[in-house]
Amino acid sequence: MIRAFLEKRRIRRVFEKLVDPEHGKKVLRDGLGRPRLSRARIEFVVAFVRGDNPAQVAERIGRVTDVAITQNAIVHELIGALVITAFGTRSGSQPESDCRVSLVRALQQELAGDIKIVHGAADGHYGLFGSERRMSYSFLVPEFDRVLGNLSRLGFGESEEFT
């Protein structure tokens, strides 16, 4: 009984950092269901790191995530050598002026020729996506497929603003 209480309290603390506290309480009480998505101005930074071996890629992804977290970005996904981060996807938060540009500069300084980056801002949605079996806290912005296409065309050491 105590173990279940402590586990619920731990989960509530995690949820409250990401979603509206009332929604977190509802999830703990009623289960996940299909939560409402939130609209927001989302600033995103999509980075791809280069590495000669898996250990080097892992180390560089760690550096990207550390820099992003230091800059108050949310790291939404790590997929292979791809890191997807955003600002404005936390309930009640708005991106600070130049936060995205500051993150891009910091990543370029940290990884120089071993990273390529596409970044931009768009009106989108964030929240929980998926099903009862697999859900992820993420975001949607229009034309994200083009963002990935532009990223694939860049050379390492380059960055581009997506407009």
Q: Are residues 65 and 135 in the same domain?
A: yes
How many other C-beta atoms can be found within 10 angstroms of the C-beta atom of residue 135? 14
Question: How many domains are there within the chain?
Answer: 2
pTM of the model: 0.79
Higher-confidence residue of 13 and 46: namely: 46
- pLDDT value of position 95: 77
Same domain, 117 and 96: yes
Same domain, residue pair 66 and 45: yes
Residues contacting residue 103 through CB under 8 Å, at least 6 positions apart: 45, 67, 68, 71, 73, 85, 119
> Residue 3 half-sphere exposure, CB side, CA atoms within 13 Å?
0
> Residue 14 belongs to what domain range?
1-31
What integer is the mean pLDDT of 17-32? 65
Q: Is the pLDDT of residue 9 over 90?
A: no
Find the distance separating the first CA and the last CA of the chain, reported in whole Å: 53
Are 25 and 40 contained in the same domain?
A: no
Whole-number pLDDT of residue 35: 63
- pLDDT for 66 equals 98
Regarding whether 154 and 98 lie in a shared domain, the answer is yes
Say yes or no: 135 and 104 in one domain.
yes
pLDDT of 111 higher than 70: yes
Q: CA dist 153 to 82, 117, 160, Å? A: 14, 11, 10
Mean pLDDT to the nearest integer, 146-163: 97
Cβ–Cβ under 8 Å, residues 124 and 141: yes
Task: Average the pLDDT over each of 10-14, 63-67, 130-134 and give the range with the smallest value.
Answer: 10-14
Task: Provide the pLDDT for residue 93.
Answer: 74
Question: What per-residue confidence (pLDDT) applies to 23?
Answer: 64
Report the CATH number that the domain containing residue 118 is assigned in CATH: 3.30.70.1230
CB burial class (10 A; 0-12, 13-18, 19+) of residue 55? exposed
Q: Do residues 26 and 39 share a domain?
A: no
